[in-house]
Amino acid sequence: MLVAIIILAILLAVSAFYCWKLRNQNNEITLKNESDIKIKNQEIKELNAKIKNLETENNKYDNSVSELKQVIENHKFKMVEMLKHLLALQKTILPEKNYIKSIFPDFFVLDQPGDTAGGDFYKFYHKGDFTLVACGNTGISGVNGLIKGILNVVFLTEILERNDIAKISSGQILDMLRSKYAHLTERNENYRVNEDIPVNFTVCIINQKEKYLQYAGAYGSMCLLRKSYPGTSRKEIDVHEFRGDRMNFAVSYGRRKNYATEQIELVKDDKIYLKTDGFANQRGGNGNRFGDSYLRQMFMKHANEPMLDQMHSYKQEFANWKGNNTKANDILVIGLALKVKNAEKPIQFTTDFEDEFIENQDVNPDENFENEIQED
């Protein structure tokens, strides 16, 4: 009996020990789980805080993006408005069709900017028996080209207002224009002459009554188309290209040479074409430039057509040549059919003109667009 009691006591003791040990293990597990839960809760809390911060930052970013978009839209609106005003200004200072037609009934002006706005420009001015026709380019398209083109027309207008067109030559006008650029450079050291000057400039003064034309160019060219047999019904055409001085407006102010003027006697049915370099520089599907030679051939091919018909032909020729290529540059071509009577004496095609013309003339050269196509 005693043995049984001892065994039972031992069993109870062992059972109590294992119960105690199990309870301690459960307590340890519970404490560990509670600690892990606290850690996880803390991590979740920190993660929620980060998420909240990210949401706050994202809201700030969204607000910044919205503000930036608004700023961009405002600037875009201002730029568009400025461009509209500049195009309106350009349209105001460029000659109207009726004004040109009153001087040259048969004419065209093919003016196609390479961008929304372009740097090509032209000027017509008529007084008495004299008509000035000038054109040029600034070498760049877009707003900068448009502004510089307007500046050139303003300069040219000021020169014509301050001088008698009957007493100045085409070359002197180019001298005066270059002087204005030089004065502009002197007043602004940051104005980079070599890049901001016109790439080419052509000036013609025409006296249809006296049957002569004065031409001067600063890398600017003019083509004259003349019947091979003036005064007859034969339609053969000769083309003469005048290239002017290969002398840019950037020639040093202190050592520059005056621009030369050529005087050309005119005959009946003469036509002249002033152009910038955009047409000739256009590359076609074969990668080649249109070129001045092909352009002269095109003038001769359509020479007996009315000027407006010629313009439409040139537009089609240009489109065919360009194909899928982008337009390389601004396009400007001016065609004029001159009104002169038959010559009463043999024609001397060009003369040495400058020295005789400027003698005793009181002139000091250093004195102080959406796309427009002229059609009926």
Last residue within a domain, chosen from 77, 93, 109: 93
Mean pLDDT of 217-240: 85
pLDDT for position 274 = 96
**Do 42 and 136 fall into the same domain?**
no
pLDDT for position 190 = 56
Three-class secondary structure assignment of 20-75: HHHHHHHHHHHHHHHHHHHHHHHHHHHHHHHHHHHHHHHHHHHHHHHHHHHHHHHH
pLDDT for position 342 = 58
**Do 80 and 104 fall into the same domain?**
no
Element housing 148 (H / E): helix 142-162
- Indicate if the pLDDT at residue 348 is higher than 50: no
How many CB atoms within 10 Å of residue 246?
A: 8
**Do 85 and 207 fall into the same domain?**
no
**Do 71 and 175 fall into the same domain?**
no
pLDDT for position 310 = 95
Which region among 35-44, 46-55, 189-198, 273-282 has the lowest average model confidence (pLDDT)?
Answer: 189-198
- Indicate if the pLDDT at residue 54 is higher than 70: yes
**Do 88 and 111 fall into the same domain?**
no
Q: What are phi and psi of 93, to 5 degrees?
A: -90, -20
Of 361 and 145, more confident: 145
pLDDT-derived band at 191, boundaries 50, 70, 90: low
- Indicate if the pLDDT at residue 217 is higher than 90: yes
**What spatial distance separates the first Cα and last Cα of the chain, rounded to whole Å?**
138
Element housing 296 (H / E): helix 292-301
| Closest C-alpha among 335, 205, 338 to residue 273 | 335
Q: Which domain holds residue 51?
A: 1-93
**Do 271 and 200 fall into the same domain?**
yes
Close Cβ partners of 234 (under 8 Å, ≥ 6 residues apart): 227, 228
pLDDT for position 358 = 27
Coil vs helix vs strand at 250: coil
Mean pLDDT of 243-247: 88
**Do 203 and 307 fall into the same domain?**
yes
Of 232 and 105, more confident: 105
Distance CA 268, CA 338 (A): 8
pLDDT-derived band at 110, boundaries 50, 70, 90: very high
Work out whether the CA dihedral 302, 307, 313, 316 comes out positive or negative. positive
pLDDT for position 186 = 63
Q: What are phi and psi of 96, to 5 degrees?
A: -75, 155
Average pLDDT, the chain: 79
* pLDDT one-digit tens code per residue, 35-48: 778 787 888 888 88
Contact between 300 and 225 (Cβ < 8 Å): yes
Contact between 231 and 153 (Cβ < 8 Å): no
Of 20 and 295, more confident: 295
- Indicate if the pLDDT at residue 280 is higher than 60: yes
Last residue within a domain, chosen from 51, 76, 93: 93
pLDDT-derived band at 341, boundaries 50, 70, 90: low
**Do 325 and 195 fall into the same domain?**
yes
Contact between 143 and 86 (Cβ < 8 Å): yes
What's the CATH code of the domain at 180? Answer: 3.60.40.10
The whole model's pTM is what? Answer: 0.71
- % of the chain residues with pLDDT over 70: 82
Distance CA 193, CA 246 (A): 17
Torsion angle of the four alpha carbons 71, 72, 76, 79, in this order, in degrees rounded to the nearest 10: 70
Which region among 35-44, 78-87, 337-346 has the lowest average model confidence (pLDDT)?
Answer: 337-346
**Do 238 and 122 fall into the same domain?**
yes
Count of domains observed in the chain: 2
Last residue within a domain, chosen from 45, 62, 93: 93
pLDDT for position 172 = 95
CA angle centred on 52, ends 47 and 54, rounded to 5°: 95
